[in-house]
Amino acid sequence: MLELKLASIRELTYDEFFAIFASSDGDVFKSNYQSKLRKHLTPKGKAFWDANLTIFDNRFFWSGACGNLVRYGMIAMRYLFGLNGLLDEVEHCESLEKQKQVVEQYRSRLEFLYWFMHQTRRLWAPFIAVPASQLDLYEGNIMKEALDSILSKTHLASDNYFFFGQLYGYWTKESCPRYLKEEHWSTLVQNVDRVEVHHATLAQVISKCPDQSITCMSLLDHMDWMSDEIILDCFKVYVKKLAPRARIFWRSFSDFQHIAPLQYLHFHQKEVEQVIEEYPDRVMMYKKTFFATVPDNFDVLPRH
């Protein structure tokens, strides 16, 4: 997908780019693939897209394991849980206040949905790449907490493209990532050649960087899946490449810092709470956001 986006930035107009990646327009994709896009792909990229030319024909957001779970989940939400009216109204809701009013009209049905999703989480979570080891980090009903927060604090139709795209299978000009905003198109075109695509682990890529050259690192949530031993091996590589007082950011299902090798970082949780208060989390699939700086002389001791 990344290769295809880079090829499209090089070759297509903004309107064509938006049609493919926001509106899932299969005709625009197929009319440009052979003549303009395919030549920019790696052999693996060509093999994948040659075999998946119809992937944009029916809402590519809902393709693959995760996408199909959402596709059929939306059918269940609409017709088994009785949320058809809620989903239709929220899709075009003009304000957050109006959205909250609509949500309250369906409160009892939503509560039943939250309960059901929590009870069945070990059946469907693997389809969205959440392993059991990550689920075990938090015992509460994270779906209720997440969806309640999203519906009460973020306006889906204008400011939460994460869930708008998943729920409806497309993006609008108002609700889409910044790379799909027309005002940023020229920046993408001017800088597309600065992107390098790697099929490797983060440690493998970073090992090629100059020592102390990295000032900021986003680790997402992948450390929830790993043993302390594996994390320690990764940080033995990272530490050589991180600049003094480098910043590290990551997410976790856990509501406390549970990764032993990281306990000696300097954490700045007050700053995190202040930012989240001002800018509500639009994803809310994690219990905690961690932000830390690397102290002077930080090192990872070898195992014995």
Give 119-156 pLDDT, tens digit per residue: 999 999 888 888 888 888 888 888 898 889 889 989 99
230, β-bridge pairs: none
Q: In this structure, are residues 16 and 8 in contact, taking their beta carbons and an 8 Å threshold?
A: yes
Strands laid side by side in the 288-293 sheet:
214-218, 242-252, 288-293, 266-267
Residues 247, 298: Cα–Cα separation, whole Å: 13
Q: Which domain holds residue 9?
A: 2-59
Token digits of residue 13: 């107009």
The verdict on 288 and 226 lying in the same domain is yes
Answer whether residue 267 is part of any domain. Answer: yes
Q: Residue 303 has what pLDDT?
A: 53
CA distance 251 to 78: 31
Tell me, yes or no, whether 98 lies in a domain.
yes
The rounded Cα 254 to chain-centroid distance in angstroms is: 18
Q: Tens digit of pLDDT for each residue in 269-302? A: 888 888 888 887 788 778 888 999 988 777 766 5
Is the predicted pLDDT of residue 103 greater than 80, yes or no? yes
Q: SS3 of 170, please?
A: coil
Interatomic CA distance for residues 162 and 298, integer angstroms: 36
d(CA 137, CA 217): 23
Q: What letter does residue 128 receive in the DSSP assignment?
A: G
Helix (H) or strand (E) holding 244: strand 242-252
Identify whether 196 is part of a domain. Answer: no
| Amino acid identity, position 68 | N
Mean pLDDT of 247-260: 85
Do 217 and 241 lie in one domain? The reply is yes
188 part of a folded domain: no
Last residue of a domain, one of 41, 59, 77: 59
- Crossing angle of helices 2-11 and 14-21, rounded to 10°: 160
- Residues 288, 216, single domain; the answer is yes
Clarify whether residues 230 and 158 are in a common domain: no
Same domain, 209 and 260: yes
- Average pLDDT on 52-77 reads 92
43 and 100, same structural domain? no
Are the C-beta atoms of 213 and 243 separated by less than 8 Å? yes
Both tokens of residue 8? Answer: 């499209």
CA distances from 129 to 115, 126, 174 (A): 21, 5, 28
pTM of this structure: 0.86
Q: List beta partners, residue 250.
A: 290
- Would you say residue 300 lies in a domain? no
| Of 168, 189, 217, the domain-final residue | 168
